[in-house]
Structure 1
Amino acid sequence: MFDQLQQQLIKLGPQLLRVPAQAMPFPLQRVCLENALNRALATSIEDEELAFLADKWLKVTVTDLDVSWCMTLKGQKILVAAPQQAADVSFMGALNDLILIAGRKEDADTLFFQRRLQIEGDTELGLEVKNLLDGFDMALLPKPALHGIAKLAEFIAQGSATRFTVSP
């Protein structure tokens, strides 16, 4: 019974979040994303690990929410722009898959080869972004964010695993 409820929550979660995600005004999205990204990646920015993103645009699309953002590094800050900005590389995936990547429950390469994560555009830039994600020290995130991502990713991973289990 719990397995079925868990699977339904995993399936319906993105559908329930779609309207609020699209209704949030872009200026508010921009401020929230810029603050969160600049705080989380402050050490990487300071150590020039994001130099590859200077004057390049990364577009991230959460496909099932139908929301996108473009990002670049300008000086010592990550800037977020509307998705109309021409992107050098684009990452596209479903919300649950992106949460699994963030929570270290799935590898971006695995999802890419399963066609659950799409990367288009500048291959070298895409590889650098992927390597940054793979090497990112999650402990740099605020504890509540780290805990929330970990719990949500675990919930999704467990629910996805039970979906593929064969009952006797």
Structure 2
Amino acid sequence: MTKATTKAFSLPKIPLPVRENIISLIPKVLKPTFKLVPFTVQKKVLIPALHSVFKEAMEDGDFEFLQDKWLRIHITDLDINWWLSFADDSLVMASPAQMVKEDVCFSASGDDLVLIAGRKQDPDTLFFQRRLKIEGDTELGLEVKNLIDAIDIEQLPSSVHSAVEQVANWLELTQTELSAQQTQLA
């Protein structure tokens, strides 16, 4: 991270051990919380958010490859699974009770997904580091990955864009400092 990026980051400077503890605590708090959120509520939040992010791509027909196919997104540290497909020019979501068979599955931690969304990590890099797993139909997985790569984070509503960017910056800064600290101790 450059000094300019660090300077632009507006959250207060929190000591590294505290940030490390917060990062490890978040999944422990969110995991049981998400278990209490009914599927209908998850769907009512996720589908409009995805439509907002991918509006232009859907209008351009970029999601037709997902027609009659299912993508599972698995957030590993939260044990959340979402099954998504494309039908009638719209993204659709299956409930866990429907037990659809996914054609491809993307698995990663919440931190890594935030870093991807905030453009702090490249999906290819995470894939080769085995932090992003793509299982199932390889061709379909590559099409999904290319679509993710093409997302313009600027298309998000400004408040969402700002929040994603700040959290991604915070995670990146913390991971960089932890890595440097481990290197010094070695």
Question: If the TM-score is normalised by the length of the shorter chain, which range does it land in?
Answer: over 0.9
The alignment yields a C-alpha RMSD, in angstroms, of: 1.3
Instruction: Note if contact 2:73-2:106 (Cα within 8 Å) is conserved in structure 1.
Output: yes
SS across alignment from 2:114 = helix
Q: How does 1:5-154 map to 2 (within 5 A)?
A: 5-83=18-96, 84-154=99-169
Moved over 2 A (4+): none
Higher Cα radius of gyration: 2
C-alpha separation in 1, matches of 2:122 and 2:21: 24
What number of residue pairs does the alignment pair up? 168
SS across alignment from 1:136 = coil
* AA aligned opposite 1:31: K
SS across alignment from 1:98 = helix
Instruction: Note if contact 1:10-1:159 (Cα within 8 Å) is conserved in structure 2.
Output: no
SS across alignment from 1:104 = coil
When normalised by structure 1's length, the TM-score is 0.96
* AA aligned opposite 1:80: M
Structure 1: segments with no counterpart, 5+ residues: none
Structure 2: segments with no counterpart, 5+ residues: 1-13
Instruction: Note if contact 2:43-2:93 (Cα within 8 Å) is conserved in structure 1.
Output: yes
Report how far residue 27 of structure 1 moved: 1.0
Can you list the C-alpha shifts for 1:94-139, whole angstroms capped at 9, x where unaligned? 1101111111111111111111111100000000000011111111
Percent identity (aligned): 39
C-alpha separation in 1, matches of 2:95 and 2:171: 29
